[in-house]
């Protein structure tokens, strides 16, 4: 009987020792990142996740959604991180930030921009491709009405075609309001391609064929790393006018260039309180825009997955990311790679 008790006691101890790490592992819930649909957001998300996982030993995953739905989820702490947040753009973000539910950390990509673009050859031509200038005096959105035939919509030849953001993006609302503000709703079709990938494909296809195309776009992006584009001028930024553009229900929007870009890492309030070490890391993230555009262009051309490109970035650009984290964390990431 004594031997049996000893045997049972030893077995229970062994089971306890085996069970403890399992319970501890189960207690660590993954940090939910928003699964961003556009290339720069996807890449930045995977860079952050890789460092969090390999350098800090914390599990992560991603949850899909549109810009609007991800911002709403962040405010509720249903997700904890948005890797590329254009902070201050949407009314939902501004409201949640004012209530202390979300925070924009750092200044991740300096020089980021957005606006309406055309290929350079539309204005200057391209002798190497036998393309003559189609809109030589096109400089600003105010000039677009007289060039509607250059950007003729194949489904409505009486109007031009403007390629807007995909539905569900904050910028789609802003662009739709801008068309009204600039008096272009009668002369241009407000065309949505359906997704970021479809927008990319439509623009890239037009450029390869040397066709005129007018579209909304932003930087950092693969397109700006691959093609020569010209951003059309808009009125100087006006904060009050911007509010009328961000409000889809405003009947009298006023034209202005977009809010100066502030790219940050969006986090929920509970995350900010729970992970001070990651907050310190996120606040230091700084990606040079020219380097980022080049990497994105290569990623697009080779059709590489964001995770694959993120790991390559960590391997090839240590001088960039090692400045964001303590030396011991950097060593863990390098060791894991």
**CATH number for the domain that contains residue 268:** 3.40.190.10
Residues 236-259 have pLDDT tens digits of: 999 999 999 999 999 999 999 998
Return the higher-pLDDT residue of 127 and 221.
127
| pLDDT tens for each residue of 177-236 | 999 999 999 999 999 988 877 898 899 999 999 999 999 998 888 887 789 999 999 999
Nearby residues of 74 by Cβ (< 8 Å), 6 or more positions away: 34, 80, 81, 82, 96, 101, 102, 266, 267, 268
Indicate the number of domains in the chain: 2
pLDDT number for residue 330: 97
pLDDT score at 195:
80
- Domain assignment of residue 99, given as a range: 30-110+261-336
- Are residues 163 and 125 part of one domain? yes
Same domain, 234 and 146: yes
Rg of the Cα trace of the chain?
Answer: 24
For residue 219, being part of any structural domain is answered with yes
The pTM score is 0.75
In a domain, residue 8? The reply is no
| Secondary structure of residue 45 in the 3-state scheme | helix
Asked whether the predicted pLDDT for residue 276 surpasses 60, the reply is yes
In a domain, 56, yes or no: yes
Look at residue 256 and tell me if it is in a domain: no
**Chain centre to alpha carbon of residue 263:** 9
Residue 90 pLDDT exceeds 90: no
- Same structural domain, 128 and 224: yes
* SS3 label, residue 31: strand
CATH of the domain at 121: 3.40.190.100
CA distance linking residue 228 with residue 221, whole number of Å: 13
Whether residue 178 is found in the same domain as residue 232:
yes
Q: Which one of 246, 274, 306 terminates a domain?
A: 246
Band (pLDDT 50/70/90 cuts) for residue 27 is low
Mean pLDDT along residues 20-28: 47
* % of the chain surpassing 90 pLDDT: 75
Tell me, yes or no, whether 99 and 188 share the same domain.
no
Considering the domain boundaries, does residue 19 fall inside one? Answer: no
Residues 327 and 241 in one domain: no
102 and 130 inside one domain: no
Distance CA 149, CA 145 (A): 9
């Amino acid at each position: 009987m004594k031997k049996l008790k000893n045997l049972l006691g030893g077995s229970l101890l062994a089971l306890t020792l085996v069970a403890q790490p399992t319970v501890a592992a189960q207690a660590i819930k993954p940090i939910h990142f928003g699964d961003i649909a556009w290339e720069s957001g996807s890449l930045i998300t995977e860079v952050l996740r890789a460092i969090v996982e390999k350098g800090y030993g914390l599990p992560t995953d991603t949850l899909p959604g549109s810009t609007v739905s991800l911002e709403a989820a962040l405010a509720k702490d249903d997700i904890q991180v948005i890797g590329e947040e254009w902070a201050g753009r949407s009314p939902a973000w501004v409201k949640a930030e004012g209530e202390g539910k979300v925070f924009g950390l750092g200044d991740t990509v300096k020089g980021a921009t957005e606006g309406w673009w055309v290929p350079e050859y539309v204005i200057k031509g391209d002798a190497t491709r036998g393309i003559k200038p189609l809109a030589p005096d096109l400089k600003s959105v105010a000039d677009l009405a007289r060039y509607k035939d250059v950007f003729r919509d194949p489904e409505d030849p009486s109007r031009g075609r403007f390629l807007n953001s995909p539905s569900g993006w904050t910028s789609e609302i802003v662009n739709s309001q801008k068309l009204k503000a600039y008096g272009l709703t009668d002369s241009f079709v407000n065309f949505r391609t359906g997704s970021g990938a479809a927008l990319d494909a439509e623009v890239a296809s037009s450029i390869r064929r040397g066709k005129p195309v007018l579209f909304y776009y932003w930087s950092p992006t693969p397109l700006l790393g691959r093609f020569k584009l010209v951003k059309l001028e808009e009125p100087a930024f006006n904060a009050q006018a911007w509010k009328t553009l961000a409000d889809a229900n405003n009947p009298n929007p006023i034209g202005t260039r977009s809010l100066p870009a502030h790219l940050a890492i969006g986090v929920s309030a509970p995350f900010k309180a729970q992970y001070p070490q990651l907050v310190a890391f996120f606040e230091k993230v700084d990606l040079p825009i020219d380097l980022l555009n080049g990497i994105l262009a290569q990623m697009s051309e080779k059709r590489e997955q964001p995770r694959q490109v993120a790991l390559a970035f960590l391997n090839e650009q240590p001088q960039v990311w090692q400045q964001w984290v303590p030396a011991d964390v950097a060593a863990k990431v390098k060791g894991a790679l």
